[in-house]
Amino acid sequence: MDACALSFWIYMGVLSVFVGGTLKKFLASHVSAVPSLVAWLGATLLVERLCAMCMPAVLALAVFCATCWLYSLWSAPPPVLPVEGKAVFITGCDSGFGHATARRLDAMGFQVFATVLDADGEGAKRLRSSCSSRLTLLQVDITQPQQVQQALLNTKAKLGIKGLWALVNNAGVCVNFGDAELSLMSCYRGCMEVNFFGTLCVTKTFLPLLRQNKGRIVTISSPSGEQPFPCLASYGASKAALNLFINTLRHELEPWGVKVSTIFPSAFKTGQSSNTEYWEKQHQCLLQNLSPSLLEEYGEDYVTETKDLFQKFAKSASEDLSPVVNTIVESLLAPQPRVRYYAGPGVGLMYFIYSYFPLSISDKFLQKIFLKKKVVPRALGKQNELNRINDNNNDIISNNNNISRIE
């Protein structure tokens, strides 16, 4: 094989390594990884140009070896902290992310404190039957400060002099669906009570144990707390308040050595999301409590379509919770955990578009992937019909005037 042919094949090998690395970074990327992704693309272009200049075979071989070495370092699994002796407190373990995380962490050897709303429910029974004696089950409603305080006392009694390694704020609710104007005030308060005030109460209560151990706080939030998802105003507002609180806490706890991370999952089947009876109950509650004038302006068909779209979206959500559970584990064991994690299919792309594209494009993207409404509010439909009739009448008058001028 002559030197030219050898250089060509080495060139193809180097290019394949860089292009493969770029694709891997893109598929796993999130917004904070964009600068490194751009740098990797720049390196790919530089190496491609050097190789294309027909460098000598020996030099090309050296570049190929260096590239493979750097790639192996980059793609090596990151170091993790040992599990031994670490205790984790998790809220909302009846089902969903909390339930799956409690089981995973228990299997890994963590000492787990798992809170449930119903100590006699199916979720609690599964935890008792499938987990080790290290797991402690606590019945806690995080909106009740007395229960949160009792959970602290029970946790301290189990831990002894040992501090708490991590708090996983997972408990949350989405108690309604619908336009911001249609959403009931009780729904706004319900979301704030659990998603913000409840999480705030738990976090403040357990902070002394976390500071003692220089531990970490991991909070499950939602993209709807940062992006304007249609018909999720009450839920999104509560998550937005939570995000700001957690982000402020991150700055304040840095001198104490406490690491704070927030996880933004994509759509998954958790809690009541796939419960048809739940959505129907919420739908009927909304119809019964809307003012007659508001219901007349929007129309029952408009409200019903929103319910149907939510059900359809929930059914298409992923049942595999492992992306979020894996991310929680990573945030607990990484020597330097990230401030923000994006877990699940599509959420990284969504944040990329939201961060780097014009709002008009970002808004259209959200509407396309979330709720594709076809029914317009009744009052708007009547107004559009009236405008159409007026436009037709104006066209007829204009045509008659033109005919008169011709005559």
Catalytic residue among 235, 302, 341, 342: 235
d(CA 259, CA 251): 10
Range name among 125-134, 185-194, 340-349, 359-368 with the lowest pLDDT average: 359-368
More confident residue, 77 or 165: 165
284-306 pLDDT, tens digit per residue, is 888 888 889 998 999 889 888 88
Range name among 131-135, 164-168, 377-381 with the lowest pLDDT average: 377-381
Closest CA to 94 of 128, 117, 112, 111: 117
Q: Are 193 and 306 in contact (CB under 8 A)?
A: no
Q: Is the pLDDT of residue 111 over 70?
A: yes
Q: Are 126 and 99 in contact (CB under 8 A)?
A: yes
pLDDT of residue 27: 47
Pairing of strands 216-220, 166-169: parallel
Rounded to 10°, the helix 96-108/322-333 angle is 50
Per DSSP, helices labelled H in 267-343 are 276-289, 292-298, 300-316, 322-333
Rounded to 10°, the helix 347-356/359-369 angle is 160
pLDDT of residue 32: 47
pLDDT of residue 29: 46
d(CA 370, CA 267): 10
Contacts 24+ apart (CB under 8 A), 182-186: 182/286, 182/290, 182/294, 182/298, 182/303, 183/233, 183/234, 184/285, 184/286, 184/289
Q: What is the CA radius of gyration of the chain?
A: 28
User: What is the average pLDDT across 346-363?
Assistant: 83
Per DSSP, helices labelled H in 82-144 are 96-108, 122-130
Q: Is the pLDDT of residue 74 over 60?
A: no
d(CA 150, CA 44): 57
Both structure tokens of 386:
């009236």
pLDDT of residue 174: 83
- Residues 6 or more apart whose Cβ sits within 8 Å of residue 11: 51, 52, 60
Residue 235 is among the residues annotated as catalytic for this protein: yes
Q: Are 341 and 331 in contact (CB under 8 A)?
A: yes
pLDDT of residue 30: 46
The confidence band for 82, taking pLDDT boundaries of 50, 70 and 90, is: very high
- Residues 6 or more apart whose Cβ sits within 8 Å of residue 239: 172, 195, 221, 222, 224, 225, 226
pLDDT of residue 48: 56
More confident residue, 240 or 227: 240
- Residues 6 or more apart whose Cβ sits within 8 Å of residue 316: 267
The confidence band for 4, taking pLDDT boundaries of 50, 70 and 90, is: low
pLDDT of residue 358: 87
Q: Is the pLDDT of residue 121 over 90?
A: yes
Beta bridge partners of 112: 88
Rounded to 10°, the helix 3-27/57-75 angle is 20
**DSSP annotation string for 326-365:** HHHHHHHH-SS--SEEEESTTHHHHHHHHHHS-HHHHHHH
Q: Tell the burial category of 75 from Cβ atoms under 10 Å away from its Cβ (0-12, 13-18, 19+).
A: exposed
d(CA 261, CA 341): 8
Q: Is the pLDDT of residue 333 over 70?
A: yes
Strand, coil or helix: what is 325? helix
More confident residue, 112 or 310: 112
d(CA 15, CA 8): 10
More confident residue, 195 or 44: 195
Closest CA to 44 of 66, 62, 67: 67
Range name among 60-64, 225-229, 320-324, 339-343 with the lowest pLDDT average: 60-64
**DSSP summary character for residue 224:** G
More confident residue, 265 or 67: 265
Q: Are 344 and 268 in contact (CB under 8 A)?
A: yes
Pairing of strands 136-139, 166-169: unpaired
User: What is the average pLDDT across 359-379?
Assistant: 81
Both structure tokens of 136:
């402690």
The confidence band for 75, taking pLDDT boundaries of 50, 70 and 90, is: low
